[in-house]
Structure 1
């Protein structure tokens, strides 16, 4: 695919990008979905909380989505990585690793987030099997089980009450200083939540199922599951390179329609929100695609009016 023209280039083929492609395809727009095929949720076994798709494997979710989008011939899929983008609103030029050059009126970034390397020995072996980041996604499977929560500071004091809805059998490992106030420590004691500050030496597991967390001071904490706070980075540096304003949380700043600070560039999904759920990303993809389509139609309407004689 070389030097082809598109109405919209969607960078990222997760739930946000796929749902955006579906909406734009149904709106008769020529769309390219460019995705490198390395989704963050590839480590997980199942997708949850998505009506009609609860429990489906992420790879199967994508297969079904692409099959449905296949009914709209104006949508193309490109298994590739975007290397650079130049141009401006109405005429962006997208260059890929495989040498493809695409020209597009609008851009929609659905690049999501990526995990930084996990620095706790043994965590990689259980991530997606018995260690997770979101109880809305995986809490049901670990209900009433003894868990270890790896978190600290203000976010811990948000997470502790949250996880208590799934189990009251949890221990907190802060993997170093807890970064809590005295009042926050008292709150945990009142709820009889054990807390350990010793750094984590390693996580023992068998076939992906955690058995215990071993601390540097020799303490062992038996458990059947872990919830931890991941360290995330943007799935692509391109939005920042193009001048999109970023938030303090490291996400792309957008308005309610998914517009970034750069004309012609939109974004949706995990790249713009901390609501990291497939159903939320898909919903944002749909609403942002509608905004993109409205802008394209309005531009075409006014351009036609300007060239039509009275």
Structure 2
């Protein structure tokens, strides 16, 4: 157990948590990052769309970030999982799975999101290798290739025009009823997008490279890549346990400054946004860190008055 009252405990060491730690370290705040080291993006080979880091592996990204943060001695890392939070604003107690306890004035959840188990046989084998969820992250590598989009309903009708900027060679597998209107089906037909609503039997692949999607009706849809909509939940259930409001899609509810409804508790990155990109998470982490720092400084200033 630490005898020192931390200024901020950051739970989660992805881009949001790391960038928050960098900003807070430079602001001379005592910070602890608690992270178990199992980020969602470890299934991918490369991070994209992050200026100066395009194409870097998630592991190398974290290594460089920790190296840069190490220049600020007030920031520490703990390889553990936060499991219990008690107390109130200014005096939180954080307990970890390994039995450590930390006292902290503020808490920042940067816990990201995690995937629910993938229920399509063969999808796990290609996820992060030739099956992806974000075209901004991985669309360039699959440009002009024959793809399968596994989506349905309104999300499909948003995604189809989007992916067409990378390739016009794609088919849609809705894995059951398509949840489309007649007008939406006609829109796909006019754009020469094949539509298959038979349930998916399995995905054939070799060494992580998808080859075809096999449907229950016997149809096969050849492809070299897949985009699909994952089912996500918050990377930790701690925000819910301590009373943070959660959106219907599983994110922590925050205001424009990253504040939750629980005083002294903040959230940033994928856990608090639908913009699931590394650079967006890092940006949000930096901004919310500045908000926290300002609140800490204002409180300290008032105590002296």
- What TM bracket, shorter-length normalisation? over 0.9
2:75 aligned with 1:83, yes or no?
Answer: no
2:141 aligned with 1:131, yes or no?
Answer: no
2:224 aligned with 1:224, yes or no?
Answer: yes
Q: Cα distance, 1:3 vs. partner?
A: 4.3
Q: 1:3 to 1:95 in 2, by over 3 A?
A: farther
Secondary structure at the residue paired with 2:105? Answer: strand
> Partner residue of 1:28?
28
Q: Cα distance, 1:181 vs. partner?
A: 1.0
> Partner residue of 1:163?
163
> Partner residue of 1:61?
61
Task: Indicate if the aligned counterparts of 2:2 and 2:103 stay in contact, CA closer than 8 A.
Answer: no
Secondary structure at the residue paired with 2:175? Answer: coil
> Partner residue of 1:265?
265
Query: After superposition, what is the alpha-carbon deviation per residue over 1:291-310, rounded to whole angstroms, capped at 9, x for unaligned?
Result: 000000000000111xxxxx
> Partner residue of 1:308?
none
Give the Cα separation in 1 of the matches to 2:256 and 2:240. 19
> Partner residue of 2:284?
284
> Partner residue of 2:113?
113
> Partner residue of 1:190?
190
> Partner residue of 1:208?
208
Secondary structure at the residue paired with 1:175? Answer: coil
Give structure 1 stretches of 5+ with no counterpart. Answer: 306-310
Task: Indicate if the aligned counterparts of 1:40 and 1:115 stay in contact, CA closer than 8 A.
Answer: yes
Task: Indicate if the aligned counterparts of 1:3 and 1:101 stay in contact, CA closer than 8 A.
Answer: no
Q: Cα distance, 1:271 vs. partner?
A: 0.5
Q: Cα distance, 1:5 vs. partner?
A: 2.0
Task: Indicate if the aligned counterparts of 1:80 and 1:96 stay in contact, CA closer than 8 A.
Answer: yes
Runs of 4+ in 1 over 3 A off after TM superposition: 1-4
TM-score after normalising by structure 2: 0.99
Give the Cα separation in 2 of the matches to 1:169 and 1:143. 9
Equivalences for residues 94-109 of structure 1 within 5 A = 94-109=94-109
Give the Cα separation in 1 of the matches to 2:179 and 2:304. 60
Task: Indicate if the aligned counterparts of 2:233 and 2:249 stay in contact, CA closer than 8 A.
Answer: no
Query: After superposition, what is the alpha-carbon deviation per residue over 1:176-201, rounded to whole angstroms, capped at 9, x for unaligned?
Result: 00011111111111111100000101
Query: After superposition, what is the alpha-carbon deviation per residue over 1:254-282, rounded to whole angstroms, capped at 9, x for unaligned?
Result: 11110111100000000111110000000
Equivalences for residues 249-260 of structure 1 within 5 A = 249-260=249-260
> Partner residue of 2:181?
181
> Partner residue of 2:71?
71
Give the Cα separation in 1 of the matches to 2:239 and 2:149. 33
Q: Cα distance, 1:248 vs. partner?
A: 2.3
CA RMSD of the aligned region, Å? 0.7
Secondary structure at the residue paired with 2:137? Answer: helix
Give the Cα separation in 1 of the matches to 2:4 and 2:122. 46
Task: Indicate if the aligned counterparts of 1:9 and 1:107 stay in contact, CA closer than 8 A.
Answer: yes
Q: Cα distance, 1:246 vs. partner?
A: 1.6
Task: Indicate if the aligned counterparts of 1:4 and 1:101 stay in contact, CA closer than 8 A.
Answer: no
Secondary structure at the residue paired with 1:103? Answer: strand
Give the Cα separation in 1 of the matches to 2:211 and 2:128. 15
TM-score after normalising by structure 1: 0.97
Q: Cα distance, 1:27 vs. partner?
A: 0.1
Task: Indicate if the aligned counterparts of 2:171 and 2:193 stay in contact, CA closer than 8 A.
Answer: yes
